[in-house]
């Protein structure tokens, strides 16, 4: 994949910072409470909150490292179990969201895994009232095929994300919310592949076919 423009890179950084703000802020608040709290039971509760916030922060950093970054710790092929664990950790203890997996291949090319993760991120963002996230991926005839479907009550999907996915959103209209979709369009285009999506009030379906290159 060609390096994204500085504007796109900065917008991806903004998205990462936005998503990290809550757990990191919770760490700061927890430390402040711990400094003033004397009751042993409340101090234990503070430690539990700090542990939870630290875990959430670490999980999100691991996710964005592979979803947005180079993820140099992996070779050309990435185990699909890694992608699964990253999305499962992103969902965390959210009982309103159920994730269903259909992963035929044991590993996928890194561009395919980046696409799967970002599709998953877009799908989770659409499930503001909870629902089901279904993820399928396989290698077939020298190409990676990926399908992600988010279904639930009153799906929320910004039309500009769809325009970024199909490459019709002008660069000047990009935002931190649409940057991941624009990155996926660049990635698919560089590989000679394609992206598709369909959105209704009840479901958002995204698909990709990416040649191995």
**Please, which residues bridge with residue 97 across strands?**
131
Mark out the alpha helices in the chain (DSSP H runs): 6-36, 40-67, 80-91, 110-126, 159-165, 179-191
Rounded-to-integer distance, Cα 56 and Cα 94, Å:
12
Helix H or strand E encompassing 132 = strand 131-140
Output the DSSP codes for 27-76.
HHHHHHHHHH---HHHHHHHHHHHHHHHHHHHHHHHHHHHHTS--TTS-S
Q: What is the pLDDT along the chain (213 residues), one digit of tens a residue?
A: 454 454 888 899 889 888 888 888 888 888 888 888 788 888 888 888 888 888 888 888 999 999 998 765 667 899 999 999 999 998 987 889 999 999 998 999 999 999 999 999 999 999 999 999 999 999 999 899 999 999 999 999 999 999 999 999 998 899 999 999 999 999 999 999 999 999 999 999 999 999 986
Rounded-to-integer distance, Cα 91 and Cα 110, Å:
22
Q: Can you list the domains of the chain with their CATH numbers?
A: 74-211 (3.30.565.10)
């Amino acid at each position: 994949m060609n390096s994204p423009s500085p504007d796109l890179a900065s917008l991806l950084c903004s998205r990462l910072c936005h998503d990290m703000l809550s757990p990191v802020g919770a760490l700061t608040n927890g430390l402040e409470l711990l400094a003033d709290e004397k009751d042993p039971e409340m101090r234990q509760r503070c430690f539990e909150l700090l542990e939870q916030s630290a875990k959430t922060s670490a999980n999100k950093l691991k996710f964005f490292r592979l979803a947005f970054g180079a993820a140099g710790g992996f070779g050309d092929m990435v185990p699909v179990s890694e992608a699964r664990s990253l999305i499962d950790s992103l969902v965390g203890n959210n009982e309103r969201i159920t994730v269903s997996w259909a992963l035929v291949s044991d590993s996928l090319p890194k561009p395919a895994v980046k696409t799967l993760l970002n599709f998953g991120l877009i799908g989770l963002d659409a499930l503001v009232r909870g629902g089901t996230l279904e993820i399928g991926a396989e290698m077939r005839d020298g190409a990676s095929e990926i399908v992600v479907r988010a279904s639930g009550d009153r799906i929320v999907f910004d039309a500009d994300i769809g325009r970024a996915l199909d490459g019709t959103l002008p660069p000047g209209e990009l935002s931190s919310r649409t940057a991941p979709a624009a990155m996926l369009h660049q990635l698919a285009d560089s590989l000679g592949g394609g992206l598709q999506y369909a959105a209704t009030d009840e479901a958002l379906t995204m698909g990709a076919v990416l040649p191995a290159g």
